Amino acid sequence: METTPRTLLDALAHVGRVLLTGPVSPDGDSLGACLALQSILVARGVDCSIAGSPSYRYAWMPGIDSLIPESEVEPEWGAVVVLDGDRHRLAPEVERAFSAAPIRGIIDHHGSTQDDGYTHFWVAPEAGSTCEMLYAELAGWGVTIDRPMAEALYTGLIFDTGGFRYSNTSPASHEMAAALLRAGIDHSDICLRVLMDRRRSGLRITAEVFAQALFELDGRLSIGTVTLAQWDRMRGVDGDLEGIVECLVQVHGVEVGVLIIERPGGSAKLSLRSHGAVDVATVANDLAPSGGGHAKAAGVSLDDPIDVIVARVVTAIDAALSPSAR
């Protein structure tokens, strides 16, 4: 059942210890939303922690050093709330804590997120980001935005709108940005750190992905791969792969870009991007029930070798391309 934002906030204010979290390898929107909501709850006297292991890109964010690594999450919490993602993409230790919590909430803007296993369900697919969802409620909650909260919210806003380049950017996105700039943030510094900063290892991995990219279906599909061997050889770290799939879909003539990242244990993580001819959220969900996201940006994890995944992706995108796109 859909939960109002006020109902969720009131529930968290009276439940004891609260854990906020996002998917494994949280992105800027998840981290920004967690930090902003933590600030709101702490101001109300709530014992609130955040679980996550962010990449180097977010080390500058106020409060980021207090995050609990997923592997160290204790099993008992009064509430666990997932922000920008769903419970199917949690780290194992966090998932166990979520399942055991009396209050199990979600705050998300992905249209593919289903109301399964939550006691409080706040999902707004029309929003450009989870941070945008929170921002829209702040006045009603009586929250005054200080600079650290503004920095957290702006991080999520620019990450999920691609610095206002993506089609989910709306008038509300720009109005939110204007208000956050008035709070005194250094917007250019945040954009540099979140969207453009790259380590040498990330530069080298990116070069190999582009050099080895596959172009299928008459050039309408581009596929990049990152193997464990490449990752180890380049000494990659979390954050090195951000932005690569966006570049894959920006090649002239490409309709869909896919990045396949090999994981330990024989699995792989896929990121999919589309210009609109293909609903990649539907494709991701067809590849595996846990897959989903937005029509133009989605993800899924598969337990197949990379060559098998490539073949599955080509078949799925070929079926999804409309006749007019061929």
Burial of 197 (0-12, 13-18, 19+ CB in 10 A): middle
CA 103 to mean position of chain CA atoms: 22
Interval 72-92: pLDDT, tens: 999 999 999 999 988 988 999
pTM across the whole model: 0.90
121 φ, ψ (degrees, to nearest 5): -125, 105
Return all residues near 189 (Cβ < 8 A) that are at least 6 apart.
none
| Mean pLDDT value across the chain | 94
Q: What is the pLDDT of residue 326?
A: 43
Please determine whether the domains at 5-195 and 200-325 fall in the same fold group of CATH: no
Topology, domain 5-195: inorganic pyrophosphatase (n-terminal core) (3.90.1640)
Alpha-carbon torsion (195, 198, 203, 209), positive or negative? negative
What are the residue ranges spanned by the domains of the chain? 5-195, 200-325
Averaged over 211-239, what is the pLDDT?
A: 95
Q: What is the pLDDT of residue 275?
A: 94
Catalogue the long-range contacts made by 114-119 (C-beta closer than 8 Å, 24 or more residues apart): 114/86, 115/1, 115/2, 117/87, 118/87
Instruction: For domain 200-325, say whether CATH 3.10.310.30 is its number.
Output: yes
Q: What is the pLDDT of residue 109?
A: 95
Averaged over 297-319, what is the pLDDT?
A: 95
Helix residue ranges, H only, the chain? 5-12, 28-43, 92-100, 130-138, 147-161, 171-182, 187-191, 200-211, 228-234, 244-249, 280-287, 306-320
Q: What is the pLDDT of residue 282?
A: 95
